[in-house]
Chains A and B, each alone.
Chain A
């Protein structure tokens, strides 16, 4: 009997071993797996993490002052300016593509749907991680849900929506995880939830993408009038839509360039056409946003501010980082040039970050003395941000290497 158990246990161990090697080591043995990790990219990543991770530990052990140079006048820095305000619009990919596919019926986009949902899910997850780094008492993050309801606060809305939307995106992405784990029954339940989850996603996304902008409605005295506008929530929402389309192009371009062996025939063959379609959508979205921005200037009659230093900066943003990439998208789609559209997508995504950094950091407190010196982030804060970006990329790659995202799983017809 004891031998029987030993045999069973051995079989169990063997099962686990083969499961582990198949799922986590991608079918390689440990030595092979380690060898495969020795790439220039990974070495750079390791160096960044060696500096960044200890800094994150210091931040939690000794307090925010260890890494940020936030002050009483400048309470928010890169963690929120970059991580939350910049990261969230670029993570609208999940909601925009799921809506296009499930609700509006853009069925051709199926091969890149999961990639878009994964981009959104991880984007939100990391936005929350940046937030946890920035909160004074991150272990109280659930307080707006249970302890005190500040319903008059736009941030209350943001907190609720980011939390629920993160869960919604997890459910939306879960079929991929369940296929990877070969869990057929649970997957069926998850798939049944899809349309409901997509509609929940639209509600939560439209509300909190705009709410991030609406948070700044409280600071008419601090934010430069060219960026402050009663329409600021419209700007944030409408720019997140083209940001999402540009970001899907960016992520799919990077995937096919660096993880081609994880893509399947369908993905590779459909991508050029889909890229052009996304580019067309992004161009339309950018022109809509551009008109909103013009309405914003006209509404407050801020034309006279355009010929000031901050006005020039504003024009650089609106012309250099919105109009020019929008025209590039238009040109690329017209000429059927995938390369131009892809370039425009990277450009437009950079423009989104430029806008959010401008709104949250550069144009905020613009009228204070020494403002431009005060906002330069310290090296430690920057290194923490780099470390989080690195973990983000590594986790993204880890999932793409293992789960059926860029390819369909042969055991399932389609996702």
Chain B
């Protein structure tokens, strides 16, 4: 069997690959490996158009998990904050979790609290405030990962955006890059500062459990499940309850989609969700620039070397011309 004959099975191969992933996680078995090698070899040899192995669009892991927060259901009990705090072993908060005075300020997640709930006035019914839970949205194609020069971030097949402090030198570009202002930094540590943020309870999810916050929510405002199914659930909720929700699933398309999605009864900008974000992943913004880099690396030495050579050539040329003229003059004199 040559590489070329294997190549046409490319279409079904993709499906097969997905099946394999379902069964054995990330482990690639020998058949898939050979198939992939064959496909790459075939592409290299035949230069088949239409499929690039260099910079494919990454549309998120199929079957990855996600969460759906229904902002119309949340009652602001902060059970999720408490569960998150306990599961992640975070320091006890200054004010206890049943103290409602924290709602007087708008809070953001910190290195001591991976999720926080904020209260907003309900424009439709002043007696029923709206509560918004904030945490890492676990983007399908995260900007923090894109920004990191050392690959300290990874997107796991389960859907979580994972950070590895052993690879971090603390440039905090991820914090600048995150469109949701999520990564929090431990500025108080001199020797082991690190980013801290929601982990999507990855160890729990790997054990087949829900995230701590979803399990703790007493009103079912947080649904855990496969992202693709959650999108359907959210869509059904919007369709089956006319007037209850605004017709938008936040996180379905924002910055290429997030694994944590939201539905709300009031427009998202009223709840301080960033609504000026592009629909494509943020890495798309830098791809064009980065793809020019190897061209510059290759072309500049040739270009500027040529300019240098042209100049030297001109110098030599002028010099020779001058010498010839002088020879002529001397010849005439003689």
> Interface residues, chain A, CB within 8 Å of chain B?
60-65, 68, 70-73, 75-76, 99, 102-105, 134-138, 140-141, 143-144, 147-150, 152-159, 195, 199, 202-203, 206-207, 210-211, 214-215, 217-222, 230, 233, 364, 367
Contact = CB atoms under 8 A, between A and B. Distances in A.
Centre residue among A158, A220, A364 by max chain B CB count within 10 A: A220
B293 A64 contact: no
A214 B287 CA distance: 10
Contacts of B175: 72, 75
A68 B149 contact: no
B282 A218 contact: yes
Contacts of B300: 199, 202-203, 206
A72 B192 CA distance: 17
A68 B187 contact: yes
B87 interface: no
8 interchain residue pairs of minimum CB distance: A136-B170, A148-B150, A75-B175, A140-B169, A156-B149, A75-B172, A136-B193, A63-B190
B193 A63 contact: yes
Nearest to B307: A103
Interface stretch (B45-53, B67-75, B117-125, B271-279): B271-279
Contacts of B148: 150, 153, 155
A72 B169 contact: no
Contacts of A73: 108, 181
Given A202-B304, A218-B143, A72 B289 contact: no
Interface string B166-194: 01111111011101010111111111111
Interface in B266-313: 274, 276-278, 282-283, 285-286, 288-290, 293, 296-297, 300-301, 304-305, 307-308, 311
Contact of A63 (B111, B189, B276, B286): B189
Nearest to A71: B187
B169 A65 contact: no
Interface residues of B, number: 58
A156 B278 CA distance: 24
Given A64-B187, A103-B308, A135-B170, A220 B278 contact: yes
Given A60-B190, A105-B311, A218 B304 contact: no
28 contacts: A63-B187, A63-B188, A63-B189, A70-B187, A72-B181, A73-B108, A75-B176, A136-B172, A136-B193, A136-B194, A137-B193, A140-B168, A143-B167, A144-B150, A144-B169, A148-B151, A148-B152, A152-B145, A152-B146, A155-B147, A155-B149, A203-B296, A203-B300, A203-B301, A207-B297, A218-B147, A222-B176, A230-B285
A104 B311 CA distance: 7
Nearest to A223: B176
A219 B176 contact: yes
Interface string B140-169: 000101111111100000000000000111
Contact of B185 (A136, A144, A207, A214): A136
Contact of A143 (B169, B283, B297): B169
Given A203-B301, A206-B300, A218-B177, A72 B184 contact: yes
A147 B307 contact: no
B311 A157 contact: no
